[in-house]
Structure 1
Amino acid sequence: MIVMKFGGSSLADAERVRRVASIIGANRAKKPLVVLSAMGDTTDSLLEAAEKAVSGSVDVGAIETLHRETARNLGIAAGETDALLGELKTLLTGVSLVRELSKRSRDYLVSFGERLSVRITAAFLSKSGILARAFDAWDAGFVSDSAFTQAELLDDVWQAVPAAFAEYASGKDGAIPVVTGFIAKDRKGTITTLGRGGSDLTATMLGAALRVDEIQTWKDVDGILSADPRIVPEAHPLHEITYEEAAELAYFGSQVLHPRSMLPCRKTGTLVRVKNSYNIDSEGSVIVEARREAAEPVRVITAVKHSRLLDIVSTRMLGSAGFLAHIFNQFLKWGTSIDVIATSEVSVSLTVNTAQDLSGLLEDIRHVSDVQCHDEKSIVTLICDVTQSSAILAKCFAALAAHGINVQMISQGASKVNISLICDDAESDHVVRILHGAFFGTPHE
């Protein structure tokens, strides 16, 4: 068996649903289990509809149009689709009356995207001669805690999922399961959502619990690339990458798999493959626990823009332990996440996301320190073999110096697979191209 996960962009309209169906059909002999996200921008449309409902207006026009037109273009009955759209309208009417949307109601609302997606796709597969059955995640064994908007799956899932698909696994049931990603139910039967990377988590949990041969996540590129192809057109796919490297990529801007979604497959050693839905003959990239083949020192170069660099210097004789303890306690107090950091005895340089409100944090830190804030910074990260850091850094600095780029901060991750450099947002793309050219021999500006 295999698990095949398709994201929203792969299901944006009828034509893309047809493509997904053809890919599933081509893999029928491998006994696929399919996990789907909501179609296209449906989740955003649902949240926009919720905002309007809180203001007293019920409008599901965009959502109705997408799903009804898709069903019509695919030539499938719209009965289940219409029923769900009616349920959605009833929910939004209730929200418009109370003028409030709780986290619990938000999860219920957002679940309609995946529920509509699987019903349309399963119906079209069956119409095309590929027997399929839609599953809401809770009917597939997915039970979570009650932390709405960011629920965690319970250990029960490890036994419940194999029980739900026992007949399919044994061959008694030939209908391909098409399962909603991202959602679950708590023990009380209330719908929850799994937060960031939720659909990937559904896929990896399903695959790990069933001990499938591999988990496939289908995207629009040939696997995991050496850089963002929009920045570096010459970026090339990697044959394999480790879970640790993939986790660092996810933290630093690359949409591979969220680290939490890798936990189930790491537990069982289940292989994950990133495939291209527009080039199904490509082998894609595999994510493995430990590298099985020799690799170049630098694997991937990625960047995160719109960060804020804080330079913090002690103004009191606290000593290094007292100074650092005070600084980090303030970040804990204000719930502010740090991305990369470099320290000395009485100074710290670190980056945070500019979306975070830092006013209270900075006021507290300034009781014992001078703080300088620098906005519009980028974190350029090299996923690499840090045991070769001297050679890697030498090549980095030589290439950047040749183009007049000054690095403003450097941080080597404790994971031993990443080195991060800080530069201005305006230089970020250029820096990525320069470094990609230095390590992979491709042209840069």
Structure 2
Amino acid sequence: MKFGGSSVSSAARMREVAGLILAFPEERPVVVLSAMGKTTNLLLLAGEKAVGCGVIRVSEIEEWNLIKDLHIKTVEELALPRSVIHTMLDELEQLLKGIAMMKELTLRTTDYLVSFGECMSTRIFAAYLNKIGVKARQLDAFDIGFITTDDFGNADILEATYPAVAKRLHGDWIRDPAIPIVTGFLGKGWKSGAVTTLGRGGSDLTATTIGKALGLREIQVWKDVDGVLTCDPNIYPNATTVPYLTFEEAAELAYFGAQVLHPQSMRPAREGDIPVRVKNSYNPKAPGTLITKQRKMDKVVLTSIVLKSNVTMLDIVSTRMLGQFGFLAKELDHVVEELEKIAVVHLLQQRAIISLIGNVRRSSLILEKAFQVLRKSGVNVQMISQGASKVNMSLIVHDSEAKQCIKALHQAFFEDDVLTEVEEEALHMS
């Protein structure tokens, strides 16, 4: 069970999360936590200020005070002794002083700096569980076998991690059964031995890695949304939850900007064929989204609509490019300047990609309906692509029209009860 930053952003939220874990008394979960709320961003800002201000008086850095106050307040509200995080806060203060003295913040030090977020949230939460009579054990991922590349800020998990983590967690459980509370997002560089971070979606990756290492039945990713949605609710509030997805669909959604899951973080679950369930810690009764390797597609037309705004389109017209494959890769540095020597280049800015994630066996049907909708809205599609992916069709429109397109498409595909003749026909044929 992985809980994101907003799920553990305060003492009240931590109590809620403890309740969710206790709601499955017959299960033996491994719990993975992110840092509390916006702590990671605050740590990064505190580090930057320490470099810039050159003062050794860390007490003047506002972000450091916010971090300290949040964690002390949480510990007090949960009626825990301050000693739970006392050492961590002292170490963090010393680190910021060191950064201020050196006037330098390397990638390696940055990873060590942000690791304090997860190290503190897990210590507080494990102490709270133990206090309410649920036996728990706090574990730093970099101490239990998460072995990574030394690519600070965006490290990759190495294969050796799986047996190492499995051995440690099994051994701990046999020796002294307790719920493991593991730091998300962190690892240990295999050459440097230093703390590394796993990049975007890193805590989800921690959870899927543990799931694969232990061969678990299910990986639950608890967020602050009801699962994966049919479109971005900020663009159109009528978005609904997508109950089932394949890993392939989830990867496409993530690639085209849906913020719920990062494709890299799903890889271990996909390899280990372990279902991932996305749930809402603010609304635990909602069924969420279940992501599996395969699902029945015979009734599926469209799954979700994703918008990627502020895209630049490069329109290249040339006869001299015929057979000249590979030229773009060589000239990307000054691509427009170079291309103008061999072609007429139009740089079209303020465009948006609308991706229709769905059943590509129905691509003609989906596109027919989409174009009907866009024609009625008076929108001209400027480019269309159905790439190598088996689940995605993309249309490019002007940025200014994109949001109304999403709304109109969502209404047509997800809200109108009347199936078009084409859809009726397709369903009968299947």
TM-score (normalizing by structure 2): 0.91
Counterpart position of 1:81:
85
Q: Secondary structure at the residue paired with 1:32?
A: coil
Separation (CA, whole Å) in 2 of partners of 1:226 and 1:216: 20
Over 3 Å counting, the alpha-carbon distance change for 1:93 and 1:118 in structure 2 is same
User: C-alpha displacement at 1:368, in angstroms?
Assistant: 2.1
Which whole-Å CA distance do the structure 2 matches of 1:368 and 1:87 have between them?
Answer: 59
Candidates 205, 230, 238, aligned match of 2:209: 205
Question: Is 1:361 aligned to 2:335, yes or no?
Answer: yes
Residue 330 of structure 1 pairs with residue 331 of structure 2:
yes
**Counterpart residue identity of residue 328, structure 1:** A
Report Cα offsets for 1:185-216 as digits up to 9, x if no partner: 12342101111211111000001110111000
How many pairs are equivalent? Answer: 409
Determine if contact 2:356/2:392 at 8 Å carries over to the other structure. yes
State the 1:404 CA deviation.
Answer: 0.7
**Within the alignment, does 1:409 sit opposite 2:379 as a pair?**
no
Deviation at 1:34, TM superposition (A): 0.5
CA distances 1:31-60 after superposition (whole Å, capped 9, x unpaired):
010011111111110111111011114321
Question: Could you tell me how far apart the structure 2 residues matched to 1:67 and 1:54 are?
Answer: 23
Task: Name the SS of the counterpart of 1:308 in structure 2.
Answer: strand
Note if 1:266 corresponds to 2:266.
no
The one-character-per-residue Cα deviations of 1:223-275 (angstroms, maximum 9, x if unpaired) are: 21111222222222122100000000000111232111121111111111111
Report deviation, 1:82.
2.0
Partner SS for 1:134 = strand
1:83 Cα deviation from its structure 2 partner: 1.2
List, as ranges, runs of 4+ consecutive aligned residues in structure 1 with deviation greater than 3 Å: 167-170, 292-295
Cα deviation, residue 26, structure 1:
1.1
Partner Cα distance (2:256, 2:169) in 1: 36
What aligned pairs does 1:275-286 form with structure 2 within 5 A after superposition?
Answer: 275-286=279-290
Unpaired runs of 5+ residues, structure 2, are 418-430
User: C-alpha displacement at 1:87, in angstroms?
Assistant: 0.8
Q: Does 1:318 align with 2:292?
A: no
Matched, 1:436 2:389: no
Q: Confirm or deny that 1:93 pairs with 2:90.
A: no
Aligned to 1:151: 155
Matched with 1:20 is 17
Instruction: Point out where structure 1 has 5 or more consecutive residues left out of the alignment.
Output: 335-359
Which secondary structure does the structure 2 equivalent of 1:38 belong to? coil
Counterpart AA for 1:173: D
Superposed CA RMSD: 1.7
State whether structure 2 residue 40 is matched by structure 1 residue 37: no
1:313-349 Cα offsets, whole Å, 9 max, x none, are 22xx534221x42123323xx4xxxxxxxxxxxxxxx
> 2:363 aligned to 382, 389, 392, which one?
389
Matched, 1:419 2:360: no
SS of the counterpart of 1:320? Answer: coil
1:311 to partner: Cα distance = 1.3
Aligned to 1:136: 140
1:179 counterpart = 2:153: no
Name the CA distance, whole Å, in 2 between partners of 1:295 and 1:258: 27
* Residue 423 (structure 2) aligns with: none
Cα pair 2:7 2:282 within 8 Å, conserved: no
Counterpart of 2:364 in structure 1: which amino acid? S
Tell me, what secondary structure is at the counterpart of 2:287?
Answer: coil
Question: Whole-Å Cα distance in 2 between the matches of residues 293 and 301 of structure 1?
Answer: 17
| % identical aligned pairs | 46
Output one character per residue of 1:113-163: Cα deviation in whole Å (capped at 9) or x when no partner. Answer: 111111111111111221111110022221111111111111111110111
